[in-house]
Amino acid sequence: MAKLAALNAVRLPAASSLRRLPNRKNAVSSRELALFDDRTLFYDVFIDAEASRLRAIGPPALNLRKALARMTLRINGARVRYRLRELPEQKLSLLEARITPLAINDISFELGDFVSRHRLPPLALPKGRKVLAAISKNNRLEWISAWVDFYRHNYGIDDVILYDNGSDNIEALETALRGRATVIRWNFPYGPPGRRHNKFAQPGALNHCLRKFAGQGRLFNFDIDELLIADPDQLETELEGRDTLYFESYNVPFVRPERAPYTHFDFTRRYAERRRSARKFVCLSEGVDVISQHNTWSPLLLPGKRPLRRNRPQRMTSEHAYFLHFLGITTNWQPHLNKLEEVGLDGLVLDDSHLRRRPKSTATGDAFTPNADPVPESAAD
């Protein structure tokens, strides 16, 4: 798995005059430019041995599209043709080229004076698995551990692919999750908060997982602060004949827990209103082409073209399942959302469905004594 977790990125050097400019659909201030990814061409380049394809996945090229179209790609010294798909709406670009792989392959991307060279082995990509994917930064170990074990225990997840976006505790995280999850060091700019068309790291991570880890299998798309509540047998029935199954949610607000550190299992009160937007999903990798945080797209197979059709949720939403969105499971990186604003019990609904699905194993990192200290008053500041 270490070979699969390693990334072979293609990034413009700091001295290069080439730079990606923000998508004009969102205004990005000069201060926010520091959070914008203007240098990454491809997050990862890898060889799919079974398909005999070189694949690369990156942010949308945007203003660099013409330059990338003129780029020279060499495989083992020979210049080769490649197909480059630019998908700005999905915040993605995809490159593919045929390859007859050797044991080690010399790959070079040549763009003017810039050359990025890689020596890549062909990879036997995993097939037919259930995979859970999410991006994370500086979340507490006990939160991530509880989330990992919950999905593995309840839904038969074969692997959890956690894309770490530059956490301060990365070594401790990798140690804590060894044998239970695969941690990818996804150290690319996340994007300016609130600038939907210029935040690339999360859709890039999800589509990377779809192509590298979830082939001929299922991808579960739920963040660290989200727990799916579903009957496994009914879930299987609903998934039959569907490429995508969407889920609506309930918000679980921050009601001060009785102990610290806390996890999802210390919150049992949710709002009564069901959220019918910001859905999450499970998808079949063979039935979808591109995914985002809340949507999937399938190809329309037209002669000579490959347009995308968004899989709309009207007929693809689960009738029995939902997910709980825990507002208190947050580093408060977006303080304007007030997720850690403490609320009272009035108007809230008791929902302990996640407690009834809680793994009995103490490996979740949630094995604290019942008389643990209460959360100090400053914890939600």
What the chain holds in terms of domains, given with CATH numbers, is: 2-123 (2.60.40), 130-380 (3.90.550)
Pair 284, 362: CB distance under 8 Å = no
Nearest to 261 by CA among 147, 364, 375: 375
Look up tokens 């990862």; give the residue. Answer: 44
Distance CA 132, CA 205 (A): 12
Quick check: bond before 313 cis, omega within 30?
A: no
Phi and psi dihedrals of 197, rounded to 5? -80, -5
Tens-digit pLDDT string for the chain (381 aa): 778 999 999 999 999 999 999 999 999 999 999 999 999 999 999 999 999 999 999 999 999 999 999 999 999 999 999 999 999 999 999 999 999 999 999 999 999 999 999 999 999 999 999 999 999 999 999 999 999 999 999 999 999 999 999 999 999 999 999 999 999 999 999 999 989 999 999 999 999 999 999 999 999 999 999 999 999 999 999 999 899 999 999 999 999 999 999 999 999 999 999 999 999 999 999 999 999 999 999 988 766 666 899 999 988 999 999 999 999 999 998 888 899 999 999 999 999 999 999 998 644 444 333 323 333 232 332
Question: Whole-angstrom Cα distance, residue 90 to residue 189?
Answer: 17
How far CA 188 is from CA of 9, 170, 206, 340, in Å, comes to 10, 15, 14, 27
Amino acid at 157: I
CB-based contacts of 125: which residues, under 8 Å, 6+ apart? 4, 48, 49, 50, 212, 213, 215
